Chain A
């Protein structure tokens, strides 16, 4: 099993450009999450999904959109990138949203917006 994979691993965008980050998991997990990690701050939740076809806002959703058309995939979109979105993005998945189950993280995507 590959676990949680993310593509791409690195990306440089110019301000105003758009892009989509892809997260895939092969563990049949219901819950999937997108986080961003910035220096001096803990990971912050952008959006999450509790199952195929569902999405919900997290702590810092502005400027991002997501889709979960298939259970195994969770896409994060930036419609018009801004320098403030320079960050490392992590996708995670879990069997459930309760405290009994741990989250499995992808390797991260380093995004730079110039």
Chain B
């Protein structure tokens, strides 16, 4: 079983829909990262959080440390949000990042 699990693996939405991507992890962590990867492109950090909630524009990230779960929400989705969203946790034991396999999001106009 992977230490970081994301769901769903694939997600298709219509423009304007509210989107949720989930991340569960099984190790102790010091921080959790949400990353975005566009097709053929590099990887960009969206959020780094260790508790509570962060918001940036239409993106919201939450984390529940007790339940070892995080969610990434996109409000009023747009085709330009189409990308792979990757959850990564920094292991409290090794200080290394452990990555999920990503969620492929396609937002159709």
Contact = CB atoms under 8 A, between A and B. Distances in A.
A106 B71 CA distance: 25
B31 A103 contact: no
B34 to A, nearest CB: 10
B41 A107 contact: yes
Interface residues of A, number: 21
* Residues of B contacting A: mostly: strand
Contacts of B20: none
* Residues of A contacting B: mostly: loop
Contact of A105 (B30, B43, B90, B98): B43
Interface residues of B, number: 26
10 contacts: A92-B43, A99-B29, A99-B30, A99-B31, A99-B48, A99-B50, A99-B92, A102-B45, A105-B45, A108-B41
Interface of A: 40-45, 58-59, 90, 92, 97-100, 102-108
Given A98-B95, A99-B92, 9 more contacts: A43-B86, A43-B88, A44-B99, A58-B96, A99-B29, A99-B90, A103-B45, A105-B44, A106-B42
Interface of B: 2, 4, 29-31, 33, 35, 41-45, 48, 50, 86, 88, 90, 92, 95-102
